[in-house]
Amino acid sequence: MKRRQFLRAGLGAGASLMGAGALRLPLHGAESGRKLVVVLFGGGARRSETTEDPEHRFIPRLWKEMVPRGTLFSNVRVERKVVHPNCAGSILTGHWEWDDLDWSRPVAHPTIFEVYRKERRAPDTAAWAFVYASILAKAGESRAPGYGAAFAANVVEPPTIPRATAEEMDRRMQAAAARGSPEAELAAAAECARLARGTSTIARDGLRSPEACAFLEREYAAWRAGAGTTSHDAFLTERALACMREFAPEVVAVAFGEIDCAHYGSWSRYTEAIRRTDELTWRLWRATEALPAYRGRTLLLILPDHGRELERPGSPGFIHHSDFYTDEGADEGCRRVWMLAIGQGAEAGRRVAAPVPITAAAATGLEFLGLRASPGAAPSVLVQAGSGNHT
């Protein structure tokens, strides 16, 4: 059962870059103790509902608590296909990936996980990717010579359910809605959550060691026995937090995806998903501030994988994000997003308007760790010393 069906069932309650001088990194101290956390604020959030909403109704945590403490890049560019896995893979390597839309293969260039593990001779438990769907199952490794599975991240996907379960859940929710009773709908939602937990399965192919397998088995068992939300993004957040507490990995990526429920045409569900992503992102940031292994040594990069179409005649607007094959409809709503850098090395209260590609995230994070992205990757926007140029 694919992610969209799961959601539908009702469970989802160069030089110019360096000249931007985006971040500051003190020259003292060893890079060996640093941590990198990358959060993809996905799938597909427009600026008009996030950073450019005058009231910032749907990102209160991000805007009030996090943006004042970090550097906000307001013109981050998606220059190739506006597709979730393509953009996510490109963010994690620094190169534009998967132009052929064949997501069954690993990306072509080394990921941030592989670069870190190979250069630092780190175990698999030092690098983790928590991804919203199976289309990103290969995002933790590449097919680049000298890299690949031996240096890949552990990849955790959310549980999935059989088609029959989704259909039964849909039937129950429709029946409850027909009664016109909020209480009946709440009861049906609770029944559906129990049904989903009981019939779910979880992928294990992306795990690299017995330790990683044992971790996921414990976490999955706890989730199945629980009674909380069945949100995919919440599942990823809880597992990422547990992983940070248990293994303190140096490189963590969390790729959220429930905002993509916008494809079903519900504005309220779309904005609710943005609110939820805001809250979950805030929880990850708070963990980097609270956990001893992360406090004072972590750079957190937060950015949407891409945006969504603008509201204009003939356009589906927020519902879609261009034609995957022809790029028709890929307007500024799709192509212009933002990135927040917060934590060690990020200057508080700073804004950068210079254009930066989403692919710059990889080299930026790796430079913070004292490493380099693969040749040809988009340049880092991390500046080793000085404040650079405010734009």
Q: What is the pLDDT of residue 100?
A: 80
Cis bond before residue 43 (omega within 30° of 0): yes
How far is 241 from 283, CA to CA, in rounded Å? Answer: 9
Q: Give the 3-state secondary structure of residue 138.
A: coil
Q: Give the other-Cβ count within 10 Å of 355's Cβ.
A: 16
Give the least confident one: 20-29, 101-110, 226-235, 355-364.
Answer: 20-29
Encode pLDDT of 170-217 as tens digits.
Answer: 999 999 899 888 898 899 999 999 999 999 999 999 999 999 999 999
Average pLDDT over residues 253-266: 90
How far is 19 from 36, CA to CA, in rounded Å? Answer: 23
Greater confidence (286 vs 10) lies with 286
Q: Hey, which CATH number is domain 15-159+205-383, 3.20.20.70, 3.40.50.300, 3.50.50.60, 3.40.720.10? A: 3.40.720.10
How far is 270 from 232, CA to CA, in rounded Å? Answer: 15
pLDDT of 15 strictly over 60: no
Average pLDDT over residues 281-306: 97
Extents of the domains making up the chain: 15-159+205-383
Q: Are 112 and 126 in contact (CB under 8 A)?
A: no
Q: What is the pLDDT of residue 331?
A: 87
232-247 vs 210-225: helix crossing angle, rounded to 10: 130
Greater confidence (322 vs 209) lies with 209
Q: Are 280 and 240 in contact (CB under 8 A)?
A: no
301 band by pLDDT with thresholds 50, 70 and 90: very high
Within 13 Å and on the Cβ side, how many CA atoms surround 271? 9
Encode pLDDT of 121-155 as tens digits.
Answer: 999 999 999 999 999 999 899 999 999 999 999 99
